[in-house]
Amino acid sequence: MSKLIRLAVLGATGRMGRAVIATALDDPRFEIVAAYSRERTGEDAGAIAGRQACGVGISDELEPVVAAGDVAIDFTRPEFMQAVTQACVTSGRALVSGTTGMDDSARAALENAARKIPVFWAPNMSIGVNLLLAALADVASRIGDDYDAEIVEAHHRHKVDAPSGTALALGEVLAVARGKPLTEISDFAREGRREVRETGRIGFHSIRAGEIVGEHDVRLVSAGEEIRLGHSAFSRDAFAAGALRAAVWLQGREPGLYGMRELLDLSAK
């Protein structure tokens, strides 16, 4: 039997942290050895995730938690990225991160860490979403600016960043196909604007309501037809499974910044 992969889960009491713990406890390839959160310290990680107690208490000491595992799975907040990456670099541990809403300093921390340790980052850990990104790239490369692009995303009422990281990733795919920076052709709100839609721009719309797990729809509309591509997540298990798949794939990798394109072998597609 191959060696168990020891996981340190960061953001363990959050929605995604609990999903990762629950999914890993059901998977014989993994062992939960440490869990970090600034909330519910001392409580059992398995019990918090809705499983039987696993004997791992929630700790608010980041460095020892990271050092205990083979790989850290991070679903914290972007403002913690500097501390998370520093702890991983210091301990020489691989990092899988699904944290979104990062600013330039958080992204720089991730990129700097990737020079010393293997880092896997994806704004969405769902395999289906990343296949959607690949499909959109193919479609977008074959149509012109005469197809208006609108991206609609919906998430639970507790999500703090908008648009979602996945919506922005979809927008980046469209912007690349149109040969312009996304920042130059994005429309995030139209309230108070009395003007016709400008050709070539990409519209974003965010819904925050109830406990919606995650929905993303891309509508490409010309004068005569519409192309619709989308993805709906039914539970957070899809994202947890993707993060765990990334943790397996990352074992033995050289330092570098990896993502779903490498995991799914989409780089040349």
- 159 in active site: yes
Helices (H), 69-103: 81-91
Residue whose structure tokens are 């070539």: 200
Quick count: other Cβ atoms within 10 Å of Cβ 121?
Answer: 24
Angle between helices 15-25 and 237-250 (to 10 degrees): 70
Q: Which of 134, 115, 131, 133 is nearest to 257 (CA)?
A: 115
Place of tokens 């192309």: 227
**Which residue is associated with the tokens 């795919």?**
173
Instruction: Please pick, among 3, 116, 155, 158, the residue that the annotation labels catalytic.
Output: 155
8 A C-beta contact, residue 40 and residue 48: yes
Cβ atoms of 136 and 246 closer than 8 Å? no
Sheet holding 214-221, edge to edge: 186-187, 202-208, 148-155, 214-221, 226-233
Q: Of residues 3, 116, 159, 216, which has the active-site annotation?
A: 159
One-letter amino acid identity for 265? D
Which residues belong to the active site? Answer: 155, 159
